[in-house]
Structure 1
Amino acid sequence: MAHTKPRVTIEYCTQCRWLLRAGWMAQELLSSFTDELGEVALIPSSGGVFRVCVDAEQVWERKADGGFPEIAVLKQRVRNIVAPQRDLGHIDDKH
């Protein structure tokens, strides 16, 4: 049986017009984790939600984590799940 690569979901509020932010974060994750991710899905929602999950594990939630993630922090949290041994270079040096 083939190992399936992790799926990242970005659930965003359409009422708040956060599609561009969600799309940009999806692009950044796909660029950084070219070989590690199987999919990044954008999920339209409402009620001010902005949530990022890797498979079933939540890595960022706007209300719980206090706003939107810096892209470096989001990449580190995703990396810690999909490729914990991987060095993110300058991103790891700054944080």
Structure 2
Amino acid sequence: MENAASVLVGSGLAQLDEGWSLRLTAQGGRICRAAGAGRGMREVPGALRDDLTGRELTRAPLTLPASIFDPAHDAYLDRVRRRAERRSRRRWWQRWSR
């Protein structure tokens, strides 16, 4: 999270406010909208890569405080765990429904 945020902020594509909320700048918003315009979700990463090719990406010195990082990290791990549980239940149901 810190690496991604530091690149976005350092490259002028996003900014952090006093409450550590990350917001896209006008330039970052244009790139995001252009990448998603008329494309499916699977095409967006490639479009973003194409839009960012040749752009100098720099890192801002950024260290998230534990009060921000820890809850975000825990929420991410919870989502991963719930996704794995849903997949295992789906597989169980598919085995018995055949």
The TM tier, using the shorter chain, reads under 0.3
Between structures 1 and 2, the one with greater strand share:
1
> Normalised by the size of structure 1, how large is the TM-score?
0.26
Q: Which protein is bigger by CA-based radius of gyration?
A: 2
> Normalised by the size of structure 2, how large is the TM-score?
0.25
